[in-house]
Amino acid sequence: MDAVSIGTVKSPVVEALDEGWGDVDSAIVLRDDLSRGLDGIDAFSHVIVVFWMHEAGFDAARDLVRRPRGRADMPEAGIFAQRARHRPNPIGITAVRLLRREGNAIFVRGLDAIDGTPVLDVKPYVPVYDRVDGAAVPSWMDGLMRGYF
C-alpha cells in the first residue's frame, strides 16, 4: 500500500534551513474529509508530525556516508545514524508544540518542514510512548543540534 498525504504544511519557510526551526510557526491543513479526525487533538500540548520531504533527494555516493550538514567538525556517519533530509525514503518525523486547531487545520511551532510539504500523519505526543529516559547520543549530535530548535 502506498502512503497517501493527509494534508499539507503551510509555512513561511520555503527552503530548508539548517537551524532556527524552534521559532517557526506553521499550519498543517488536512484534507476536508479528514477534519473530524482532529477532534480532541487540542487537549494535547504537543503532536508528532510525519511528513514527506518532497524536495529532498538521495544519491548514495554523496549521502550514504557523510559528515552531518557537511561540517568539517563532524565525524563521518552513515545516513541511518543521522537525521539528514537526503535519505533513501525522505520521511521526516518531528514532535512539535500544538498552538491551536481551527477547523481542518492545526497550528504548530517548531516543525522543520518547508511550505508545501505533504503530511503523512499526525499523532498526539504521549510521554509514556514517545519519551525515552536516559537515551544516549554521541557527543557530536549535541554540537550539531545547537541552534537547530
pLDDT in tens, 80-135: 998 888 899 999 999 999 999 999 999 999 999 999 999 999 999 999 999 999 98
Phi-psi region of 59 (alpha: psi -120 to 50; beta: other; left: phi over 0): beta
pTM of the model: 0.89
pLDDT in tens, 72-81: 999 999 999 9
DSSP string, 2-71: -----EEEE-S--S--SS-GGG-EEEEEE-GGGGGGGTTGGG-SEEEEEEE-TT----HHHHSEE-GGG-
- Return the CATH superfamily for domain 7-145: YaeB-like (2.40.30.70)
pLDDT in tens, 32-71: 999 999 999 999 999 999 999 998 989 999 999 999 888 9
